[in-house]
Amino acid sequence: MKIKNKIIIITSVIILSIFVVHYIIIKSYCLNYHFDSDKAYKVVYVEKKENNNKIIIKHKRYQIYLYTKCDIDVGDYIKINGSIEEIDDVRIKNSFNYKAYLENNLVLGIIYSDDIEIIKHKIVLNSLSSIVNDYIDKYFKDDANILLKALIIGRKYFSEDINNDLKENGIVHLFAISGLHVSIFILLISKLLSIFKFNDKGKDIIIIIFLGLYLFVTNFMISIIRAVLMYALNIINKHKFKYLFSSLDIASISFIIILIISPVYIFNISFSLSYLVTFIIILVSNLIKDKNNLYQILLISLIANVFTLPIIINMNYEINILSPIVNVFYISLVSSIILPLSIIVLVFPIFSFVYKYIVDAFYYFIHLTTKISINISLPHFDHYAVFIYLVILILFVMIKRKGISIILYLLFVLIFYNISTFYQGENIYFMYLNNGEASLIRLKNKNILIDCGDGYKDEVLMYLKSIGIRKLDYVFISHNHSDHCGGIDNINKDIDIKHLYLSRYDYGDYRYYKNSEILDVSDLIEDKDVVIEVLAPEREGIEENDNSLVLYFSIKKYDYHILFTGDSTNNVNDVILNNLKGREVDLIKIAHHGSNTSSSIDFLREIKVNKAVIMVGKKWKGTLPSKEVLNNLDILGIDYYLSVNDYSLIYDLKKDRFLKRS
């Protein structure tokens, strides 16, 4: 036993060492890579779109994403006159980290170029994905085309409505190519080969060849790599080791092999979910093997939802608590009917007219079940929350008195659900959006939002959910331009807004919300924490920007004064100064993203401010702010912070300073 333990320890240390060394080598290569425009790169994937085609080119084991209008095919060898674009780090706290996503998928970077030379063309196995894609385009149209691509090759082009329905039902995972697809392929091929009297060894060889080709069709999706590798290991286990290894052993061995080959996969969400669910199914299956099929699916679905909750929440900040039950229905429907029929109709497209009605009915059921969904939002799981969550789950597995751990679990979820209630910080959060402005003032559990960006990917809404905010005491829309009000519809649907304020001269659709209120110049909003005064507009402006609400915030506890100027131009400077009446301004949000139409040097000198924030969306990086406004700030010695340089900013009222790079 001692010798066996030593072997296990030594093996584990060796594997860990290989993993760490290989990870360092990969990260070092990615950080130090320089694109060579004189080199010919092989095209391994093409996704044709109306504007820019997405091309994946291969460099050693790594990839580069190319976006171009040029007509390029898989198997082309191309030279690209261009350079790798700089990818932003996380612009908003808790949002999707695209830079990390690329790194964790061995992507060296992104190039935008139409200056491309095709050197030569070779027939490659990677063409299988394009061949299948073109085949589906030829024989199937509209929704049938979209569903087949999602289920067979992993290309998801669902409409926004269908995408939202899938998310609400909590069944998006059924349209990610996975072990379920591989199992059905194996079953169908095995049945077909049995008709032709193939023995087990012959079946295994043909299935392995098919799965190897299918890896190219799906462009080596991690869930397919796992499923194919596990199947191959099971075949070896059957023929060479006479079932010496258990299913858990096989899953663990495949896990180790993949991480040794590509250690960055440890940070890949698809990899984490794929293996986590696999281990759950293996561990639970022995406990429920005597139960009926429906009970098994329900219990596995429930346990999988519980164990994967932190990962799922950190993706959407929302979960349908009925999804374990809904999953039972859809897993059975997809595995027993939709996916097998999709494979059959793919082989025999003559039946495509029948398939269309099946797809329509399927989408109808998906839309129908969204009406009974019960969605709850949970905040971002940071490392500490994940640790506590895992401890509770481990306790549930280890201790006999399950009731104690269930109570702990429910208590944790309840506290976590209401986490913003316990928030004690007092700060201002200036968000670096894709386009536009949004600022959040948090005074313990009081939340004030000024503008909400253009609604791009619900950036502001997702941030609010990620920090557990389900209630906004005050929301101000400065004016009716999409980069300031575009996100309000979805925020108003998902967040409880007590008061939504807008200018007398704002005629946006949100004017007709039940919670909307009109503000005039000199109006005061006051409570125990803050006083907010409207300084402008006094009259309707010639242009929409001059209808911007200009708001003077006084934070009582700190006697701190902030001026939010919307997109107001120099045309209303006299009005602002007259109504400000020489009162102190500690911090100003510079108007109109630092455009030279605003923030004249005389205006800035008159208000005697010492700190400024300039909010420019990523879309306008390099265009704004204007050099003139920056020069004005420099001349007056005003410290300024730019979102395009510092990303989203937090001003901590307690510490009286900015916390950069949030």
From the CA atom positions of the chain, what is the Rg in Å? Answer: 29
Tokens in use for 627? 């050099």
How would you classify the pairing of strands 639-642 and 649-652?
unpaired
* pLDDT at residue 8 greater than cutoff 90: no
Nearest residue to 564 (alpha-carbon basis) of 501, 510, 652: 501
Tokens in use for 237? 């286990």
Q: Per mean pLDDT, which range of 193-197, 321-325, 396-400, 436-440 is the poorest?
A: 396-400
Q: Determine the pLDDT at residue 215.
A: 93
* pLDDT at residue 657 greater than cutoff 90: yes
Mean of pLDDT values over 61-88: 94
Q: Determine the pLDDT at residue 2.
A: 66
Helices (H) and strands (E) in the chain, counts: 24, 23
The alpha carbon of residue 197 and the mean position of all alpha carbons in its chain are separated, in whole angstroms, by 48
How would you classify the pairing of strands 560-564 and 446-450?
unpaired
Please tell me which residue, 397 or 81, carries the higher pLDDT value.
81
Mean of pLDDT values over 452-472: 96
170: left (phi over 0), alpha (psi -120 to 50) or beta: left
Q: What is the pLDDT of residues 246-276, one digit of tens each?
A: 999 999 999 999 999 999 999 888 899 889 9
Largest CA distance in the chain: 94
pLDDT tier for residue 559 given thresholds of 50, 70 and 90? very high
CATH class of 35-124: mainly beta
Residue ranges per structural domain of the chain? 1-32, 35-124, 128-377, 383-416, 421-659
Mean of pLDDT values over 165-183: 80
Mean of pLDDT values over 346-355: 89
Judge contact between 469 and 491, C-beta under 8 A.
no
Highest mean pLDDT pick, 388-392, 561-565, 579-583: 561-565
Please tell me which residue, 372 or 119, carries the higher pLDDT value.
119
* pLDDT at residue 19 greater than cutoff 80: yes
Q: Determine the pLDDT at residue 603.
A: 97
* pLDDT at residue 3 greater than cutoff 80: no
Q: Determine the pLDDT at residue 1.
A: 52
Please tell me which residue, 195 or 177, carries the higher pLDDT value.
195
DSSP state letter for 17: H
Mean of pLDDT values over 103-129: 93
* pLDDT at residue 571 greater than cutoff 70: yes
CATH number (3.40.50.300, 2.160.10.10, 3.20.20.70, 3.60.15.10) of 421-659 reads 3.60.15.10
Please tell me which residue, 7 or 141, carries the higher pLDDT value.
141
* pLDDT at residue 369 greater than cutoff 60: yes
116: left (phi over 0), alpha (psi -120 to 50) or beta: beta
Give the bridge partners for 641, in sequence order: 613
Strands, DSSP E only, in 22-115?
A: 41-47, 53-59, 62-68, 76-80, 107-112
Q: Determine the pLDDT at residue 399.
A: 83
- The model's pTM is 0.91
Mean of pLDDT values over 130-147: 92
Q: What is the pLDDT of residues 629-647, one digit of tens each?
A: 999 999 999 999 999 888 9
Q: Distance (Å, rounded) from C-alpha 591 to C-alpha 577?
A: 14
